Each structure stands twice: as structure tokens, then as C-alpha cells.
Amino acid sequence: MTGRASMDASHGELLFLVDKERGDYSHEVFETFSLDRDKFPPIHLVDKIAGKLTSDGARKLGLPQGTPVLSGGHDSALSAYALGVLKPGDACLDIGNAANLVMCTEKPVYCPAGDAYRHPREGKWLFQIYSATIGAALRWFRDVFGKEEVRMAEEQGISVYDLLCETAREAAPGSGGLLFLPYLQGAQQSAEASGAFLNIRMGSGRPEFVRALLEGCAYSVRYNMEQMKEASGLRIGKLTVCGGGSKNSLWLQIFADILQKPLQVSRIQEAAIAGAAMLAKRADTGQDPGGNAGADKTVFPNEANGEIYDRGYAEFKKAFEEEISR
């Protein structure tokens, strides 16, 4: 678009090449590995102009030549900005293919399973740990075991995922003891971790398998939440959810029950796109609209399920930690 290479700070700080305190490439890393600094693009803050739209870019995009092009940012950084994750302890959870839990902090937090990068608001940081296969695990189940639901959804003109979740409603909270580890492509804690269904019994039917999958995904986020608290010393306060997984009321309730926190549900599912637009407005007008994609409803945890899910989580945590210590 601009004819020159650049990298935004939020992506740059996800690399091991960057000194987070300085906000630029690490002299020590570049010297240790004999890297040529000239071959790496400059790092810009997310709201800075990276260049102007070239004539070729203007022709392809149908925009005026010379239009300013912002550096932009990592999708989670932009989501956090849009959703009002602006105070230490504020957090958002984007439930998509992955479940990305992102919390605002006053300084970078270092954790082997997590990432830290600059917040779009100056002087703040974001700390994240994600589970890589959440919506992806449900899609896997659909593709392997859900051919009948796919057929029914096509006939009825509805979402196959809604049909699967309706099946899960037939199972009681806790899925009769059935557990699911949603690590189909490893975990942040260990690339060698794998997925599993555990505690299969004669009473484990299709509803229990689907519900166990939904619960296992939420258990993995609770595990990440515990690690974030341990690393940062901060307890997550306000928690806003967005993404495709926030569309389904059952899955939202399961997340609220297992995380034992009220979930503020964003009225905008694609919060990263909203954050990019807000960042553009800030750069253009000087006004800061961050946080304007807030919640339009809250899902509260069902206290009656607390003990069931505490027991389920204890078993999940034990099984996962045995898996990553193998």
C-alpha cells in the first residue's frame, strides 16, 4: 500500500527480537545471532502513519493517492482497545477459532505461556494467553461426527453449531464426568500437548460428548486465567467477550459458570475491525473513541453449577498438567 515495509509495535513485540522496554529491536539479540538490522522493517506505534497510499495501491483500492496509511495493530490489541480494556485488570475474551484472553497491565508481564505487547493507549500494556483450538475443536467435531447435523442445518437454513449446542442442552452440567482436553494443535504451555476425551462411561451419549467439548474449552480458559493472575498479580475484573463463540447462549452460560465471572457481551462481534476504525478516527481527528464497542448485555454465572464445575475443573487441571509433563 505504501511501497515500504513496516511493522507495528503490537506485532513486533510478539517477536523475541524486540526489547519491550525500549520498543525497538534488541541490540543484544541482533548481536548474538549476527542479524542484519537493515533487513528488518522499522517499528511504528499502532496509531502512527506508516506511509501514504501509492498510485498503484490507490488504483487497486479505489482510494485517493496519498491517503495516509496507519501502522495498525495485532487483532487482540485492537479488540482490547475497542472493548474498553483500559484499566489494569480489565480483560476481554475473543471466542473464535482460538480463545484469546487479553488483560490490561501497567507494565509488560513475562510468562512462558503468555505474550506481552503495547496497548494502543500510551503507557499501558496487554498480556495474553490463548487456547489455540476452541471454535476449531467444535468445527473438528462437526466435520468428523456431525454429518447429520450438517444435513439438518442445511435443510432448516440454520447454523450447524446452534444444532450441536441444542444437542448439548440435553446433557447435565458436568457431562456426567466426561472431560475434553481441547489441545488439538498443542498448547501455549506445551507444543506437545494433545486433545482427549476422558472418563467415557456407558452413559456417555452424544449430548455428553458435545457438552464436554464446550466445557473443556471453558476449562482451558480458566486455566489460562489462573496463570495470568499468578504471573501478573492481577485478578481479572471486568471481562468482555466477543467473537463467533459469543453468539450462542448455552456456550456463554458455560463460560460464565466455569470462569465464575459475569461476562459482558459485546454488541460488536468483530471487535478488532471496530478497533481499527477507532484508531483511524483517533489519528485523523485527535479524538479517542476507544471503548465504544462495549457490552449490551451481561451473562451471570449460575451459582448452582459452581460446585459441579469446581470438581470438573480440578480433574481437568490434573489431566492437563499430567499431559504437559509427559
Q: 48: which DSSP letter?
A: S
Average of per-residue pLDDT across 23-45: 91
Neighbours of 131 (CB within 10 A): 25
Q: Can you give the pTM of this predicted structure?
A: 0.91
Q: Are 115 and 128 spatial neighbours (Cβ–Cβ below 8 Å)?
A: yes
Q: CA torsion sign, 256 to 271 to 124 to 228?
A: positive
Q: Is the pLDDT of residue 289 over 90?
A: no
Closest-CA residue to 102 (of 111, 112, 89, 113):
89
pLDDT of residue 2: 93
Q: 177: which DSSP letter?
A: G
pLDDT of residue 14: 85
pLDDT digit string, tens, across residues 9-24: 888 888 888 888 888 8
Fold of 75-326: Nucleotidyltransferase; domain 5 (3.30.420)
**In angstroms, rounded to a whole number, what is the distance separating the alpha carbons of residues 318 and 315?**
5
> What's the mean per-residue pLDDT of the chain?
92
pLDDT digit string, tens, across residues 56-95: 999 999 999 999 999 888 888 999 999 999 999 999 999 9
Run of H or E including 100: strand 99-105
Q: Give me the percent of the chain exceeding a pLDDT of 90.
A: 72
Q: Where are the domains of the chain?
A: 1-73, 75-326
pLDDT digit string, tens, across residues 234-274: 999 989 999 888 889 999 999 999 999 999 998 888 888 99
**In angstroms, rounded to a whole number, what is the distance separating the alpha carbons of residues 13 and 24?**
9
pLDDT of residue 32: 96
Run of H or E including 315: helix 306-324
Amino acid at site 310: D
Q: Is the pLDDT of residue 292 over 80?
A: no
Confidence band of 161 (pLDDT split at 50, 70, 90): very high
**In the numeric block, which cell numbers belong to residue 265?**
457481551
Confidence band of 182 (pLDDT split at 50, 70, 90): very high
